[in-house]
């Protein structure tokens, strides 16, 4: 039993370590299906490296098992040395040169793919969007629109169009990552980074891939790639929904979808929601106190957006103390 116990412990630990992977998308062992050319090239590089590493793993483990069986003690006393194996110059040269060749192949292929990953294809009218990371939400500014347009949490683009993203942050380091649409890119205060994608029709989810604070796990993002008509419709009507977007994409993350509380305190019956000036002051400047802190989540919002938020929460969130909801 004592001899079997270590093997049993190892088996249990391996099972626990791989349980989460096995239930993940694609079994957790492969990237999600690419929906943009740059993501396709990233996947190609991934599978090349996976092929080499899997082959090396199988070879090494197979040789390990063979050697364990071949050179086992066969009942020999522990005080007696086993048969001595001497060096083999040709074999040693081979296992020195072989890894160098493999690394050269991988490096050559990766450098071959890098231009296709980094550089967007030529397009007559690429769409330019600023991605701004905040604690703890993504804000998108559509700089090509004739009038300023913005969205929170969900980026709207026409499918098939080349989208150029300018990635920035006003507070801490974030990491923009929609797995189906390419690799990660950092949002760093004081610096502007660029990335791109050309999405197939569909909805693609992602999240901040950099630990940016205590509630980082809720900093999600979605890219909606639809028709040109739906994209233009959003640009023309974004002001009608921006109050709801701000609440759902920013406030509800901490305070709950109905203001019932969560990571942050319950605020549904807080009369502050009915005072636009006081409300804008808090979300613009943040709160620091002994009972907790809130970052200045709205320090880049316009007066119109503050008004839209105040109108939405007054109509849909605020419930005076003692009031009951019907239904």
Complete DSSP assignment for 28-66: GSSPPPP-SHHHHHHHHHHHHHHHHHHHHHHHHHHHHHH
Strands of 178-310 (E only): list them: 185-187, 193-197, 202-207, 220-226, 287-289, 292-294
Residue 15 has pLDDT above 70, yes or no: no
Residues of the chain with pLDDT > 70: what percent?
87
Which residues are paired to 235 by β-bridges?
none
Tell me the pLDDT tens digit for each residue of 193-213. 999 999 999 999 999 999 988
Q: What's the fold here for domain 127-242?
A: Immunoglobulin-like (2.60.40)
Do residues 129 and 165 touch, judged by C-beta distance below 8 A? Answer: yes
pLDDT at 58: 95
The number of beta carbons lying within 10 Å of the beta carbon of residue 38 is 22
Average pLDDT, the chain: 86
pLDDT at 145: 66
H or E segment at 132? strand 127-134
In the chain, what are the domain boundaries? Answer: 30-68+89-119, 127-242, 252-316
Tell me the pLDDT tens digit for each residue of 231-252. 999 999 999 999 999 999 999 8
pLDDT at 325: 46
DSSP state of 210: S
Residue 220 has pLDDT above 50, yes or no: yes
Residues of the chain with pLDDT > 90: what percent?
50
What mean pLDDT do residues 282-290 have? 79
pLDDT at 326: 44
User: Could you tell me the CA-to-CA distances from 27 to 18, 52, 147, 255 in Å, in that order?
Assistant: 10, 20, 44, 34
Do residues 178 and 154 touch, judged by C-beta distance below 8 A? Answer: no
End-to-end CA distance of the chain: 62
Predicted TM-score (pTM) of the model is: 0.80
Please report which confidence band the pLDDT of residue 27 belongs to, taking 50, 70 and 90 as the band edges.
low
What mean pLDDT do residues 132-154 have? 89
Do residues 128 and 64 touch, judged by C-beta distance below 8 A? Answer: no
DSSP 297-315: TTTT--HHHHHHHHHHHHH
In whole angstroms, what is the distance from residue 213 CA to residue 139 CA? 17
User: Mean pLDDT lowest for which of 19-23, 51-55, 56-60, 77-81?
Assistant: 19-23
Please report which confidence band the pLDDT of residue 327 belongs to, taking 50, 70 and 90 as the band edges.
very low
pLDDT at 274: 85
């Amino acid at each position: 039993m004592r001899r079997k116990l270590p093997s049993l412990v190892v088996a249990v630990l391996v099972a626990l370590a791989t349980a989460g992977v096995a239930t993940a998308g694609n079994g957790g062992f492969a990237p999600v299906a690419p929906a943009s050319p740059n993501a396709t090239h990233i996947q190609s590089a991934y599978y090349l490296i996976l092929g080499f590493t899997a082959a090396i793993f199988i070879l090494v483990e197979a040789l390990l098992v063979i050697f364990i069986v071949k050179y086992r003690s066969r009942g020999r006393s522990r005080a007696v040395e086993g048969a001595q194996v001497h060096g083999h110059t040709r074999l040693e040269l081979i296992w020195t040169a072989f890894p160098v060749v493999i690394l050269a192949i991988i490096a050559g292929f990766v450098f071959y793919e890098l231009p296709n990953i980094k550089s967007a294809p030529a397009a007559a009218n690429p769409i330019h969007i600023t991605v701004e990371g905040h604690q703890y939400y993504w804000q998108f500014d559509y700089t090509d629109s004739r009038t300023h347009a913005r969205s929170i949490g969900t980026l709207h683009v026409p499918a098939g169009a080349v989208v150029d993203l300018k990635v920035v942050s006003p507070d801490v380091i974030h990491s923009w990552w929609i797995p189906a649409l390419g690799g990660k890119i950092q949002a760093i205060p004081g610096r502007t980074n660029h990335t791109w994608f050309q999405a197939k029709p569909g909805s693609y989810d992602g999240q901040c891939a950099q630990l940016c604070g205590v509630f980082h796990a809720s900093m999600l993002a979605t890219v909606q790639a639809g028709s040109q008509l739906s994209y233009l419709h959003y640009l023309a009507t974004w002001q009608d929904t921006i109050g709801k977007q701000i609440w759902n994409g920013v406030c509800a993350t901490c305070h709950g979808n109905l203001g019932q509380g969560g990571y942050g305190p319950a605020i549904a019956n807080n009369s502050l929601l009915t005072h636009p000036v006081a409300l804008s002051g808090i979300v613009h400047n943040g709160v620091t106190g002994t009972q907790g802190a809130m970052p200045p989540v709205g320090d880049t919002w316009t007066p119109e957006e503050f008004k839209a938020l105040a109108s939405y929460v007054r109509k849909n969130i605020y419930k005076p103390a003692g009031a009951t909801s019907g239904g």
